[in-house]
Every structure is written in structure tokens, then in C-alpha cells.
Structure 1
Amino acid sequence: MTTPPRDPMLELLSADGPDPDHAEALMLYGRLVGTWDITNRYRFAEGRWRTAVGEWRFGWALGGRVVQDVLHCPEFHDRFPGTTLRLYDVTTGLWRITWISPKLPSYFAQTGRPDGAGGMIQEGTDAEGRRSRWTFTDVTPVSFHWQGFSAAPGGEFELFQEMHATRR
């Protein structure tokens, strides 16, 4: 059996590592590059929580200025396939973040930064205008904890999803 040729678009999209001109700043999210096994706990609209296992892959993209991820959780696959693009903005020192899930459809636009405790915090809005906050905490070379919060305008943040990740 012959291996099909690599897709030319994917060759242009992927990068071997961070842009050397900004490598240190890019490692805020770049340290996540690789494959992670996850336990994903998600609260559905009716308030019921469900837990599933899956994987979360992070990689360098677009000249090493973007960290892109794909989250795959087979039990939620029909409901939650999606990808996140995290672009380091060299003019502001912040991260411009977009998450999309075409099947839902769903969209988040956020700004990310260090949280001051070794993790990251991302804040913004979803497609319906609800405020969002995503956090990466307890980040080590082999594990991290991710939490997703949402809030109605003027409301308090409520946890809707959390994942524990272990590097494969």
C-alpha cells in the first residue's frame, strides 16, 4: 500500500516550531504542543453533567506564530468537534484566540494572557454574546487543568466544562 502524498495546504499550514523572533513569548501556549489524553466533563443545557475521555492535540501553525489545537472526544464527537487558533499579537503581547465548532455551529473570540500563577486565562464572548472565560491552571510539562466558564451579560461566570490533561 502506498502512502498518499502530503496535502500541500497542510504543508503550508503546519510549522516545525515557534517563530524564532518571538520564541520565548510564543511558549506561553507553545509548551502545550503535543498530544494529551483528557478526561472531559461537560454540562449540557438541561444541567446534566457528562464525562468522557478523549485527546487534545496542539501544534505549531502559520510560520510558528500560531498554536492550533484539535479536540477529539469520541463520545461527544457529533456534538463538539472543534479547533482553536491562538495567534500571538506581537504589537500588544496578547494572544488573539478563535475557537470554532462547525457542527454546532459555535464560535468563541477571546484574548489570552498569562494568569500570573504559571497558567493562562482567556476572556471574550461566544457567538450569542455571552461572556466567556477559559483557564489553564496547574500547567506542568506532563499535565494541566482546563476550565470553561460562561456568563450572561452582567451575570456571574458559571462552570460549563472542565478537562484534566496528561501528556501522552
Structure 2
Amino acid sequence: MTVSSRDSMLELLSADGPDPDHAEAMMLYGRLVGTWNISNRYRYPDGQWRTAAGEWRFGWALGGRVVQDVLFCPEFHGRYPGTTIRMYDITTGLWQITWISPKLPSYFSQIGRPDGAGGMIQEGTDSEGSRSRWTFTDVTATSFRWQGFSAASDGEFELFQEMHATRG
């Protein structure tokens, strides 16, 4: 089979729902599938906090074995969004997670898992090798809170970004 057009590639990438063999486990992030309006607060390198509105879209991909999202916040990223791929690893029960934003450029590699309180926690490293932690808390069918932390020089995590999301 030859993929000859962009539409064909997107058809191969997208999925209608979770892989039935692992549907329950896939719902950790699968419950976020859909469109979310976000209020985004981000700390710039100069220490100042800036806010902007945006959109976060989550969808099923690669045979329903992946939850992929596209985060678009025009005031921060211009017209260049970023994407996260979250793959459930059936051998470990954990999630392998990669975020990329080519325009910045920025990427993170993380491991995700339930946080024990109905949310999710992801830990790993950023493109410079610094430790990172992202959390999804207060997750309901209509809203959630996301926070991004990076390790400071003393090893403690510091908040660098926070988003409040509501279903679009």
C-alpha cells in the first residue's frame, strides 16, 4: 500500500476509539479526547508571567493505541502548535510520552501514570536534560487543570506553566 496524499496519511494516523484489547487502560488519557478551551499562564525567562487563551485537542491515533494532542496558543506560539504523543506501554502499564514543538524548539520525554487522586502525573526530562513534571488534576468530564514544573538548581520543582481547560 502506498500513501500518496496528506489526507491518506491523516486517515492512517487517526483512529475512531481506543484499542479494544486495552480500552480500560487507554481511558486514563482517553477521557480527554475532544476539544478544550484553555486559559494558559506561562512564566517567561525574564520571570514575568503572561496569560493567553488557546485550544487543546486530544484524539485517538495509531489504531487506538495512542492518545495524541495538539496544543495551540496563538499568543505564545504564533501559528505553530505543539503536539504530545502518549502511548500506553502494555508491558509496563505506564505511558511513554513525547512532547514536541518545532518552532520553539522544545521537546520533553516523560513517563505517565495515574496520580492516585483521579489525575495523571508525568515525569521525565526536557530538551536540555533537566527534570520535568507535568500534572493533570481536578479532572472531570468538563474541565481539568494542567501544571508544568521544571527542576530548579536546588533540585526542587518550580511551576513554569499552568492551564485551566474546559470542554469546547
Whole-angstrom CA distance in 2 between matches of 1:6 and 1:108: 26
SS in 1 for 2:17: coil
**Would the aligned equivalents of 2:68 and 2:83 in 1 still touch at CA under 8 Å?**
yes
**Would the aligned equivalents of 1:131 and 1:153 in 2 still touch at CA under 8 Å?**
no
For structure 2, list consecutive stretches of 5 or more residues without a partner in the other structure: none
1:11 match: 11
Q: Structure 1, residues 119-154: CA drift from partner, whole Å, max 9, x if none? A: 000000001011000000000000000000001465
Provide the aligned C-alpha RMSD in A.
1.5
For structure 1, list consecutive stretches of 5 or more residues without a partner in the other structure: none
Displacement after TM superposition at 1:79 (Å) = 8.6
Whole-angstrom CA distance in 1 between matches of 2:152 and 2:42: 18
* Paired amino acid for 1:167: R
Q: TM-score, normalised by structure 1?
A: 0.94
**Would the aligned equivalents of 1:130 and 1:153 in 2 still touch at CA under 8 Å?**
no
1:106-117 alignment to 2 at 5 Å? 106-117=106-117
SS in 2 for 1:7: helix
Whole-angstrom CA distance in 2 between matches of 1:79 and 1:150: 25
**Would the aligned equivalents of 1:79 and 1:104 in 2 still touch at CA under 8 Å?**
no
Change (3 A) 1:129 1:152: farther
1:164 match: 164
1:132 match: 132
Whole-angstrom CA distance in 2 between matches of 1:110 and 1:124: 4
**Would the aligned equivalents of 2:77 and 2:103 in 1 still touch at CA under 8 Å?**
no
**Would the aligned equivalents of 2:39 and 2:165 in 1 still touch at CA under 8 Å?**
yes
1:86-97 alignment to 2 at 5 Å? 86-97=86-97
Q: TM-score, normalised by structure 2?
A: 0.94
1:46 match: 46
Whole-angstrom CA distance in 1 between matches of 2:36 and 2:63: 23
SS in 2 for 1:98: strand
**Would the aligned equivalents of 2:152 and 2:158 in 1 still touch at CA under 8 Å?**
no
Q: Any runs of at least 4 consecutive aligned residues in structure 1 with deviations exceeding 3 A, and if so which?
A: none
* Paired amino acid for 2:8: P
1:18-167 alignment to 2 at 5 Å? 18-78=18-78, 81-152=81-152, 155-167=155-167
Q: Structure 1, residues 48-68: CA drift from partner, whole Å, max 9, x if none? A: 000000110000000000000
Whole-angstrom CA distance in 1 between matches of 2:31 and 2:124: 23
Aligned length: 164
**Would the aligned equivalents of 1:79 and 1:103 in 2 still touch at CA under 8 Å?**
no
**Identity over the aligned pairs, expressed in percent?**
84
* Paired amino acid for 1:103: K
Q: Structure 1, residues 66-105: CA drift from partner, whole Å, max 9, x if none? A: 0000001111123972100000000000000000000111
